[in-house]
C-alpha cells in the first residue's frame, strides 16, 4: 500500500506523532509545526536534489537558478545542449553535470517515466532512481518525500536529520545507523513527517557552525 500525506492531514499527523513522542512534542511546542515542504514531480526537482548533494542548500539553489537563467526552462533537451563549460558557469561541477545529463537522457529515452511514480510503491521508485549514475538513496529519499509525498521514509543518509535526532534525543555521538533506524521505527508509518519535524528543529535552533553536508 502506498502511504502518502498532503496539506489536509499534514499537521494532524505531526500532532499524532508528537502525542506519542515527548521530543517531537517539544519541537511543536517550541517551534510550531514544520513548513509543508514539497516540490513538483519533475525533472527540475530531481536536478535540484542532485545539486543539493554534499553542499549547502543555498549553494544548490544558486546553481539551480543559474541553470534556469541560462536555459529559461529546465528541460532534459535543453540541459543536454549545454557544454561542460556552460554547466560550470552555472556553478555545476563536472561530476554533477554528468549526473544531470544521465538523468536527462534516461527521461528522453523513456527509461525513466516520472508520471508512473505516482502509482509505484516506494521500493520500486527507489530502484528506478538509484539505477541511474549519481542518484543514491539520499536523493531517492528526498524525492519520495518532497515530490511524491510518501509518508514513511527516514533518510538515514541526511546529516541534518541524523544530527537533529541525536540532539533532540540526547543520543551518544557514536550511535550506529542501525540503532538510529530502530529509533525511527517507532514513527512508522509516518517516518517522513517525523523527519520533517527533525529538520524543523535543526533549522530553528542554534548549532555549531559547520557546512551542511548531504550524502547521495
Confidence (pLDDT) at 147: 98
Q: How distant, in Å, are the alpha carbons of 26, 51, 68, 89, 202 from that of 65?
A: 36, 11, 5, 12, 25
Confidence (pLDDT) at 8: 96
Q: Are residues 97 and 130 in the same domain?
A: yes
Confidence (pLDDT) at 208: 56
Confidence (pLDDT) at 214: 43
DSSP per-residue codes, 42-79: SHHHHHHHHHHTTS-HHHHHHHHHHHHHHHSS--HHHH
Q: Are residues 80 and 168 in the same domain?
A: no
Q: Are residues 78 and 94 in the same domain?
A: yes
Confidence (pLDDT) at 26: 98
Q: How distant, in Å, are the alpha carbons of 28, 44, 95, 101, 141 from that of 31?
A: 5, 30, 38, 40, 25
Asked if residue 4 is part of any domain, the answer here is no
Q: Are residues 50 and 142 in the same domain?
A: yes
Q: Are residues 169 and 109 in the same domain?
A: no
Asked if residue 209 is part of any domain, the answer here is no
Q: Which CATH number do you get for residue 175?
A: 1.10.1670.40
Distance (Å, rounded) from C-alpha 167 to C-alpha 182?
16
Mean pLDDT of each 10-residue bin along the chain, 216 residues long: 94 98 98 97 97 93 96 96 96 96 98 96 97 96 98 96 96 94 97 98 75 42
The domain tally of the chain equals 2
Distance (Å, rounded) from C-alpha 78 to C-alpha 76?
6
Confidence (pLDDT) at 206: 75
Confidence (pLDDT) at 92: 96
Confidence (pLDDT) at 209: 46
Q: Are residues 129 and 78 in the same domain?
A: yes
Domain extent at residue 180: 10-35+153-204
Asked if residue 1 is part of any domain, the answer here is no
Confidence (pLDDT) at 88: 96
Q: Are residues 124 and 58 in the same domain?
A: yes
Asked if residue 55 is part of any domain, the answer here is yes
Amino acid at each position: 500500500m502506498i502511504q502518502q500525506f498532503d496539506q489536509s492531514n499534514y499537521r494532524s499527523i505531526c500532532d499524532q506523532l508528537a502525542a506519542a513522542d515527548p521530543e517531537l512534542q517539544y519541537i511543536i511546542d517550541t517551534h510550531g509545526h514544520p513548513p509543508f515542504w514539497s516540490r513538483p514531480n519533475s525533472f527540475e526537482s530531481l536536478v535540484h536534489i542532485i545539486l543539493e548533494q554534499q553542499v549547502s542548500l543555498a549553494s544548490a539553489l544558486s546553481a539551480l537558478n543559474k541553470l534556469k537563467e541560462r536555459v529559461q526552462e529546465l528541460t532534459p533537451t535543453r540541459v543536454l545542449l549545454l557544454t561542460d563549460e556552460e554547466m560550470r558557469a552555472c556553478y555545476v561541477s563536472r561530476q554533477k553535470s554528468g549526473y544531470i545529463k544521465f538523468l536527462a537522457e534516461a527521461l528522453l529515452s523513456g527509461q525513466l517515466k516520472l508520471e508512473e511514480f505516482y502509482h509505484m510503491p516506494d521500493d520500486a521508485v527507489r530502484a528506478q532512481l538509484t539505477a541511474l549514475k549519481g542518484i543514491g538513496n539520499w536523493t531517492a529519499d528526498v524525492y519520495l518525500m518532497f515530490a511524491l509525498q510518501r509518508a514513511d521514509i527516514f533518510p538515514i543518509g541526511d546529516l541534518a536529520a541524523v544530527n537533529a535526532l541525536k540532539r533532540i534525543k540526547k543520543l551518544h555521538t557514536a550511535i550506529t545507523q542501525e540503532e538510529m533506524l530502530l529509533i525511527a521505527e517507532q514513527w512508522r508509518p509516518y517516518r517522513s513527517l517525523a523527519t520533517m519535524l527533525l529538520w524543523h528543529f535543526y533549522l530553528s535552533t542554534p548549532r555549531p557552525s559547520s557546512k551542511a553536508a548531504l550524502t547521495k
